[in-house]
Structure 1
């Protein structure tokens, strides 16, 4: 994840504090001031034993308008749109899958949690830093020019039968409530069949299954 942070251009690294034991290996990664201290000093600053031996100060990049983010994408772009994902583990897992399967951008509605929160960032293994994202008040309106495909247990067609459109937007909702009916009504709805009447998958797991199908 450190190499992803150092290599991406959106979120600026302002300064880095390294333990003496990590300095030779990690300092060359960063084009920013690097400070070196003993492990005891790092532990005192963090308030607990910091075994990885690194602290960094980053500057969050401003989020572009949805139209600006999507305008420059290719004619065969793949976008994720997230509604109500308030769990940082799930956000991190979704962004990890998005990076793994080459998603071009992620849109989040106002009720999603912050992808740059430390737990989401850690679970994403740096995926949050690789995949551009922004927020949109109305996901469907923001996806003009993309075919919105909503995952739902009651979807009208199965995922295996879905042929990917050139510009596709995959919509995912929170576990439990899922996507609102008003959103589903404006989308092509797709389901992942499950055995024994079981109708629930973790949303991050769902994103991996659906993205694999869309890029295969």
Structure 2
């Protein structure tokens, strides 16, 4: 278990990674990312995919996190500050009183990510230009909830290790395999090479209602686009199937993360 560094001086140099978090979220954090809240932090520690480089705690949270602290490497810096000082350090109101600083590692390539998937993985999700961090986090949470094996993002999609995406995902962006990069057409071709058929979720009239899709293939990659523009014409032209989620006539579309949840549930093997 690490030693706890009880800090009274908010200018202490050890607190530098946690300072003015919102401003740094906008500017990028090079090889670091922030994990906010106990739920996401426990996922980070349990899965061990990304190292925890430092931890900031409100003094009120130390007793509640004893079991988690016991699981950390002894050399992990843990800073404990008065509860009232948290806001001054991070730059916003953080009622959870828990903020971890994670270390990015160079992830596997798209082909390597797919090669590492178990042969039992039958559902993955592809994203085209999904740039909203709330939606990205919710997509990961929904994919994990319904047994999906990975999320594959094109370069236009946002970083799933953005602080808000991690929080909304309940830490699933730290657990579920993902790869970000390339074009959506490259994603489509890559998943095809390992036996997936690609099904686009789209409200277009020519799409098959998802409940009427008979005998879907063993391996399905669901492709979704950003709210508003949806999928590009090139992306739609590249897929094997087009699926729609029937809705009341007064509603023209669903939130993209909600669509993923409905489709993943409907297409569970």
TM more than 0.5: yes
Specify the alignment match of 1:33 in structure 2: 77
1:85 paired residue number: 130
In 2, Cα distance between the equivalents of 1:19 and 1:135? Answer: 34
Task: Specify the alignment match of 1:142 in structure 2.
Answer: 190
Q: 1:194 to 1:47 in 2, by over 3 A?
A: closer
Aligned residues, how many?
A: 216
CA contact (8 A) 1:75 1:166 kept: no
Q: TM-score, normalised on structure 2?
A: 0.74
Residue by residue over 1:29-80, the C-alpha shift from the partner in whole angstroms, topping out at 9 and shown as x without a partner, is 1413323222244333223443322222110222210110011223342110
Q: Who is 1:208 aligned against?
A: 261
Q: Report Cα offsets for 1:76-106 as digits up to 9, x if no partner.
A: 4211000010111111111110111121111
Change (3 A) 1:12 1:196: same
4+ residue runs over 4 A deviation: none
Counterpart Cα distance in 2 of 1:161 and 1:139? 26
Question: What is the aligned partner in structure 1 of residue 148 from structure 2?
Answer: 103
Mapped pair 1:195 → 2:248: yes
Q: Could you tell me which residue of structure 2 aligns to residue 158 of structure 1?
A: 209
**Could you say what secondary structure the match of 1:196 adopts?**
coil
TM-score of the two chains, using structure 1 as the length reference: 0.91
Greater displacement, 156-165 / 46-55: 46-55
Q: Give the unaligned 5+ runs of structure 2.
A: 1-38
Deviation for aligned residue 1:195: 2.5
Query: Larger deviation: 123-132 or 106-115?
Result: 123-132
**Change in CA separation of 1:136 and 1:51 when aligned onto 2, cut-off 3 Å:** closer
Shift of 1:130: 1.8
Paired residue secondary structure (1:71): helix
> Contact conserved, 1:99 with 1:127, CA < 8 A, in 2?
yes
SS, match of residue 88 in structure 2: helix
- 1:133 partnered with 2:133: no
Distance 1:56 1:196 in 2: 45
DSSP-derived class of the 1:64 partner: coil
CA RMSD, Structure 1 to Structure 2 (Å)? 1.8
Contact persistence 1:8–1:130 (CA under 8 A): yes
Q: Determine which structure has more spread, i.e. the larger CA radius of gyration.
A: 2
Q: Residues 157-190 of structure 1, C-alpha deviation per residue, up to 9 Å, x if partnerless?
A: 2100223321210000111221112221221111
Specify which of 89, 99, 108 is matched with residue 55 of structure 1: 99
In the alignment, structure 1 residue 178 sits paired with structure 2 residue 230 = yes
